[in-house]
């Protein structure tokens, strides 16, 4: 009715500065434009997190226990190392032959090796183990083995030519049907016990693995699936959750794309309006009036009104003698400047603010030399301030969310890959909520601190990386017998851990066994340089950026032309200034 028409009229009168910088909640209050993007993004953050929680509850806990069980079956109980990368070594031919035999034998009798209620199955009625053998002369052979592998001449060839082996990889496929907390699921495990004989003297045994969801053909396998309902009664709500996330991601993508298109049109309008500005003699620079109440922003009127109304809008027609003195203008260096110009309809729409990115003295010199600031005068960083880069993050996140949701509907996909997609999609959904804190400077302090500090940290790291790399290389050369410095990657990880105060005593003990003197000199010099100097400089840079942004907020709040309520804070530490026509119309 009348209220809807009034809101549409208010939305039609939205100024360019409101379109670019006004927060969604103020747009709703002032112009009746409901914040659909904010509503959709909140739902996406909640629902993508719910997707991950349900997925972890249903599948990852069981998968972790099953993987531990497979390690015990195929590698034994005495394996060491981090979970997911456990290995053990074999030092003689007899142990190698016994381990190879037991690995293949356990696959063909896997259910007799398990106490699990849920039994394992094979992808076909006659299970086979695919053996891939790489010899030291570079030749690779691949052949299948069945349950009667003991008499297979190819298997016997491996046993007889141990010294000629380079690597033996056995590819196994196991189907597992289990009743999870929410529904019945089916896993297709791809296991690959590997005997690595690349370094002569010992054979390293490890277990490679990957998990897939069973395909439709696997689910129709006659045994043991005929006794169980594959989908389960609680599978449908989870599928409905995927559908809702896909729809919301598509809607968010459309709205973000529309916002980008609108921003491009606005920027094109600004460029066209500022290419032919009014003569330089008709402009002066004065501080922008501070809007103390959000309601006053509705009263901002275009030039051409009487002096009292125009002054409320931040525009007035002064004579030359009313121009602020140069000292006042020079104090505004680094301030937000406004771009003035005329549109095709002949009226001045509104002056748009921008952030001068040059240094203070350069800004003062620029304002002395130019009475009119046009689009061509802006740097690329200043031009980007008119374009919300959060739209790019939104679009990338929506694409990942849509792809992750589609993978949840497709049977036979990788469980690990699906979980990675869901995690990245959830990350982007929650990261995207930070864009709404941009309008509240206190809560946006982290992002602004990173914006200021990260470039300076990057410049500092350019000088630090060569020194760190030199220490890592020297550590490998001096202490290669230890596991922590056996490779360049391991050495870098160990030094980074020591740099952050972790494993200092253990590192001293391990390196001391190799060289008591050089280890002391090496570690003490590294600790003194990187902890007492590099780390403290790094912290000081971030701390300086934090306090600079905090002081900026305080100065903007205290200044007469401070940040206007409801607008994104994109300027520097000084109050805004704008270009105003002086003299007659």
pLDDT score of 80: 66
Most confident of 6-15, 260-269, 430-439: 430-439
β-strands 87-90, 203-213 pairing: antiparallel
Displacement of CA 92 from its chain's centroid (Å): 48
343 has a pLDDT exceeding 50: no
For residue 207, what is the enclosing H or E element?
Answer: strand 203-213
- Domain boundaries along the sequence of the chain: 79-233, 445-558
In angstroms, what CA-CA distances link 143 with 149, 152, 544?
Answer: 11, 10, 64
333 has a pLDDT exceeding 90: no
pLDDT score of 50: 94
Region 152-157 average pLDDT: 83
Where is average pLDDT lowest: 59-68, 105-114, 256-265, 361-370?
A: 361-370
Question: Six-digit token pair at 41?
Answer: 């993004």
For the chain, the first-to-last Cα distance in angstroms comes to 40
Region 56-77 average pLDDT: 85
pLDDT tens digits for range 374-394: 666 666 766 666 677 788 899
Query: Between 475 and 373, where is the model more confident?
Result: 475
Please report which confidence band the pLDDT of residue 216 belongs to, taking 50, 70 and 90 as the band edges. Answer: low
pLDDT score of 446: 82
Contact between 78 and 88 under an 8 Å Cβ cutoff? The reply is yes
Is the CATH code 1.10.287.70 the one for domain 445-558? yes
This prediction has a pTM of: 0.71
354 has a pLDDT exceeding 80: no
pLDDT score of 119: 67
103 has a pLDDT exceeding 60: yes
Please report which confidence band the pLDDT of residue 273 belongs to, taking 50, 70 and 90 as the band edges. Answer: low
Please report which confidence band the pLDDT of residue 234 belongs to, taking 50, 70 and 90 as the band edges. Answer: very low
pLDDT tens digits for range 448-507: 888 888 889 999 999 999 999 999 999 999 998 888 898 999 999 999 999 888 888 888
pLDDT score of 382: 64
Region 36-45 average pLDDT: 92
pLDDT tens digits for range 526-536: 999 998 899 99
Contact between 49 and 426 under an 8 Å Cβ cutoff? The reply is yes
Region 216-244 average pLDDT: 59
Region 57-76 average pLDDT: 86
pLDDT score of 157: 84
350 has a pLDDT exceeding 70: no
pLDDT score of 477: 93
Q: Single out the residue of 566, 570, 540 nearest to residue 553, CA to CA.
A: 570
370 has a pLDDT exceeding 80: no
Most confident of 15-19, 47-51, 217-221: 47-51
Residue percentage of the chain with pLDDT more than 90: 20
For residue 330, what is the enclosing H or E element?
Answer: helix 326-330
Region 174-190 average pLDDT: 83
Instruction: Work out the number of other CB atoms within 10 angstroms of the CB of residue 342.
Output: 15
pLDDT score of 335: 33
148 has a pLDDT exceeding 60: yes
Scanning 377-444, the segments in alpha helix (DSSP H) are 380-384, 390-409, 415-431
- Average pLDDT of the chain to the nearest whole number: 73
Dihedral sign (CA 498, 449, 329, 331)? negative
Where is average pLDDT lowest: 149-153, 307-311, 553-557?
A: 307-311
Please report which confidence band the pLDDT of residue 115 belongs to, taking 50, 70 and 90 as the band edges. Answer: low
363 has a pLDDT exceeding 90: no
578 has a pLDDT exceeding 90: no
Q: Single out the residue of 34, 431, 51, 35 nearest to residue 245, CA to CA.
A: 51
What is the rounded CA–CA span in Å between residue 171 and residue 564? 65
pLDDT score of 236: 61
Residues 6+ apart with CB under 8 A from 424: 400, 404
pLDDT score of 398: 95
């Amino acid at each position: 009715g009348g209220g809807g028409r009034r809101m549409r009229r208010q939305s039609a009168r939205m100024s360019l500065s409101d379109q670019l910088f006004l927060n969604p909640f103020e747009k709703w209050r002032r112009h009746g434009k409901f914040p659909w993007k904010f509503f959709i993004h909140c739902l996406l953050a909640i629902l993508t997190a719910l997707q991950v929680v349900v997925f972890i509850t249903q599948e990852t806990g069981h998968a972790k226990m099953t993987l531990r069980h497979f390690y015990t079956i195929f590698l034994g109980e005495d394996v060491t190392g981090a979970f997911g990368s456990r290995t053990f070594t074999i030092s003689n031919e007899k142990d190698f032959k016994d381990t190879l035999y037991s690995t293949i034998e356990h696959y063909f009798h896997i259910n007799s090796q398990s106490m699990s209620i849920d039994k394992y199955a094979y992808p076909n009625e006659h299970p086979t183990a695919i053996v891939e053998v790489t010899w030291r002369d570079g030749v690779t052979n691949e052949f299948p083995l069945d349950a009667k592998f003991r008499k297979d001449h190819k298997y016997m060839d491996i046993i007889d030519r141990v010294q000629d082996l380079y690597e033996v990889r056995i590819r196994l496929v196991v189907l597992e049907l289990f009743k999870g907390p929410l529904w019945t699921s089916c896993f297709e495990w791809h296991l690959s016990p590997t005997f690595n004989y690349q370094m002569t003297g010992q054979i390293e045994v490890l277990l490679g693995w990957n998990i897939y969801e069973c395909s439709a053909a696997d689910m129709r396998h006659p045994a043991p699936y005929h006794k169980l309902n594959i989908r389960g009664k609680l599978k449908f709500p989870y599928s409905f959750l995927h559908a809702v996330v896909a729809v919301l991601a598509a809607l968010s993508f459309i709205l973000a794309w529309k916002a980008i298109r609108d921003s491009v049109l606005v920027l094109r309008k600004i460029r066209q309006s500022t290419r032919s500005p009014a003569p330089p003699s008709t402009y002066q620079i004065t501080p922008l009036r501070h809007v103390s109440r959000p309601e006053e922003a509705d009263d901002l009127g275009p030039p051409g009104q009487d002096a009292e109304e125009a002054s409320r809008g931040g525009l007035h027609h002064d004579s030359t003698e009313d121009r602020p003195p140069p000292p006042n203008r020079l104090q505004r260096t680094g301030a937000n400047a406004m771009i003035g110009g005329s549109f095709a309809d002949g009226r001045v729409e509104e002056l748009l603010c921008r952030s001068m990115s040059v240094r203070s003295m350069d800004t003062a010199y620029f304002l002395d030399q130019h009475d009119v600031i046009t689009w061509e005068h802006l740097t690329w960083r200043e031009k980007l301030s008119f374009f919300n880069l959060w739209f790019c993050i939104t679009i990338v996140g929506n694409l990942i969310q849509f792809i992750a949701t589609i993978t949840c509907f497709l049977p036979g996909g990788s469980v690990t890959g699906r979980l990675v997609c869901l995690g990245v999609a959830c990350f982007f959904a929650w990261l995207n909520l930070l864009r709404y804190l941009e309008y509240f400077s206190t809560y946006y302090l982290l992002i602004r601190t990173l914006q200021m500090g990260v470039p300076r940290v990057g410049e500092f790291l350019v000088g630090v990386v060569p020194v760190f790399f030199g220490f890592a290389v020297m550590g490998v050369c001096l202490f290669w017998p230890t596991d922590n410095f056996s490779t360049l990657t391991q050495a870098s990880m160990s030094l980074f851990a020591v740099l952050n105060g972790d494993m200092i005593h253990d590192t001293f003990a391990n390196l001391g066994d190799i060289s008591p003197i050089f280890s002391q000199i090496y570690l003490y010099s590294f600790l003194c340089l990187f902890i007492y100097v590099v780390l403290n400089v790094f912290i000081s840079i971030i701390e300086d950026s934090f306090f600079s942004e905090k002081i900026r907020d305080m100065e903007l709040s205290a200044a007469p032309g401070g940040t206007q309520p409801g607008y994104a804070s994109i300027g520097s530490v000084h109050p805004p200034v704008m270009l105003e026509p002086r003299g007659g119309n």
